[in-house]
């Protein structure tokens, strides 16, 4: 099987996404919610499934999900597209809004899938670094100097947890001619969303997801909110039945009961506590301030800490050899994490 001629250049060197494997009693590696869907809603979901005609295709417009999203987040359902996770929408946008070679600006570190999908779409990705002088004003100047047609960034940022406040984001949007793809996957943990304003701009797409604060990562539901022209083109590009009927049912139910299901406030607060505890426990590390449900830290012994935690049954995410990202779990999980971290370097976990 050495017929590389069937593999295009843009695929060469790419590897399948490789999440952490193995079984861990505590999962703090994927920025998910630690909370299951409330039992009462799960019962209602199971009941609703009996009504579902699985011999039929799902609603291609996801009308009930869009309506529930719109009531919860106060946007017009006509300005919303639902995706099979926001991942699907990122892929779609980076494909359908650019011609081959169009430049897309990314400031690193950033969510790795932006680069992956942009390269697959044969966009020309140009990078700048989020160093200590980085700001959205700087990013805007960078995009202009480099002739970018678009920029994409997460706010709050995965992996650093840093957030740009609403005014800074709006100033950026107004001063750039780029299409601004603003990924608010973690905005339920913070309060600086520009979601409701997105349709007022000709150059903005805001992304959201039910995978984080709503605890529905397994259902794969994401959203794009933008003006009608951008939304129309996303609808042209997406596959007609991109969201299955089971996920549509569940997403509608979760959004209709948003106050019960959205754990953003509580988990955002817990991540702030995690930030303080890590700062106390590791005075030599650089612990990044967070606006999300996780904390990013730079420490020379990141690899040892990662292995130690894994040996103790706690999964976190390692970046290179020097950075760790740890996500907020339940109160009990955090107690165990802190107790385990306190013992780091003092004993053999086995």
Q: How far is the CB of 82 from ligand PMP (least distance, A)?
A: 11
Question: Does 91 interact with ligand PMP (rule: CB under 6 A)?
Answer: no
Question: Does 264 interact with ligand PMP (rule: CB under 6 A)?
Answer: no
Provide the pairing of β-strand 150-154 with 204-209: unpaired
Positions 17 through 36 that interact with ligand PMP (CB under 6 A) = 31
Positions 109 through 128 that interact with ligand PMP (CB under 6 A) = 111
Token reading at 100: 């081959």
Residue nearest to ligand PMP (CB): 85
Q: How far is the CB of 147 from ligand PMP (least distance, A)?
A: 25
Question: Does 253 interact with ligand PMP (rule: CB under 6 A)?
Answer: no
Q: How far is the CB of 320 from ligand PMP (least distance, A)?
A: 18
Nearest by Cα to 267 from 319, 221, 329, 222: 329
Site string for ligand PMP, 29-68 (x = CB under 6 A): --x-------------------------------------
Dist CA 36 CA 215 (whole Å): 7
Question: Does 164 interact with ligand PMP (rule: CB under 6 A)?
Answer: no
For the chain, the 3-state helix, strand and coil shares in percent, each to the nearest 5, are: 45, 15, 40
Cα-only R_g, the chain: 21
- HSE-up (13 A, CA, CB side) for residue 304: 9
Q: Which of 33, 70, 79, 154 binds ligand PMP (CB under 6 A)?
A: 154
Q: How far is the CB of 288 from ligand PMP (least distance, A)?
A: 15
Q: Which of 197, 217, 246, 310 binds ligand PMP (CB under 6 A)?
A: 217
Question: Does 248 interact with ligand PMP (rule: CB under 6 A)?
Answer: no
Distances (CA, A) of 278 to 274, 293, 306, 313, 326: 6, 14, 14, 19, 10
Neighbours of 290 (CB within 10 A): 26
Binders of ligand PMP: how many residues, by CB under 6 A?
Answer: 13
Q: Which of 70, 79, 128, 158 binds ligand PMP (CB under 6 A)?
A: 158
Token reading at 235: 């609808």
The interface region with ligand PMP, picked from 85-93, 237-245, 253-261, 274-282 by CB under 6 A, is 85-93
Nearest by Cα to 226 from 150, 140, 126: 150
Q: Between residues 183 and 333, which has the closer beta carbon with respect to ligand PMP?
A: 183
End-to-end CA distance of the chain: 43
Distances (CA, A) of 187 to 28, 57, 79, 164, 174: 19, 32, 19, 11, 21
Positions 170 through 189 that interact with ligand PMP (CB under 6 A) = 183, 185
Q: Which residues bind ligand PMP (CB under 6 A)?
A: 31, 85-87, 111, 154, 158, 183, 185, 209, 211, 217, 222
């Amino acid at each position: 099987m050495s017929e590389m001629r069937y593999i295009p250049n843009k695929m060469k060197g790419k590897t399948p996404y490789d999440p952490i494997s193995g079984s861990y009693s505590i999962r703090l590696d994927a920025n998910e919610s630690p909370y299951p869907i409330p039992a009462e809603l799960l019962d209602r979901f199971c009941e609703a499934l009996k009504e579902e005609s699985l011999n039929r295709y799902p609603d291609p417009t996801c009308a009930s999900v869009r309506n529930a999203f719109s009531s919860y987040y106060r946007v017009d359902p006509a300005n919303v597209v639902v995706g099979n996770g926001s991942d699907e929408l990122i892929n779609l946008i980076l494909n359908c809004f650019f011609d081959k070679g169009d430049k897309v600006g990314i400031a690193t570190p950033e969510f790795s899938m932006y680069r992956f999908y942009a390269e697959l779409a044969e966009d020309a990705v140009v990078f700048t670094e989020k160093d200590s002088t980085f700001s959205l004003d700087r990013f805007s100047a960078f995009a202009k100097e480099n002739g970018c047609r678009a920029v994409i960034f997460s706010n709050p940022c995965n992996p650093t947890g840093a957030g740009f406040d609403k005014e800074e984001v709006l100033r950026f949007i107004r001063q750039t001619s780029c299409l601004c793809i603003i990924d608010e996957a973690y905005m339920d943990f913070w309060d600086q969303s520009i979601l409701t304003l997105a349709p007022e701009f000709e150059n903005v797409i805001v992304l959201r997801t039910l995978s984080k604060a709503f605890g529905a990562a397994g259902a794969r539901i994401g959203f794009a909110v933008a003006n009608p022209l951008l939304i129309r083109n996303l609808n042209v590009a997406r596959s007609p039945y991109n969201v299955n009927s089971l996920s549509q049912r569940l997403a509608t139910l979760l959004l209709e009961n948003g106050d019960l299901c959205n754990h953003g406030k509580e988990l955002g607060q817990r991540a702030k506590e995690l930030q303080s505890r890590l700062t106390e426990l590791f005075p030599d590390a650089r612990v990044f301030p967070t606006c999300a449900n996780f904390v990013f830290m730079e420490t020379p012994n990141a690899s040892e800490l990662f292995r130690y935690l894994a040996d103790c049954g706690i999964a976190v995410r390692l970046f290179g050899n020097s950075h760790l990202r740890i996500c907020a779990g339940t109160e009990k999980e955090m107690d165990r994490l802190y107790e385990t971290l306190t013992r780091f370097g003092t004993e053999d976990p086995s």
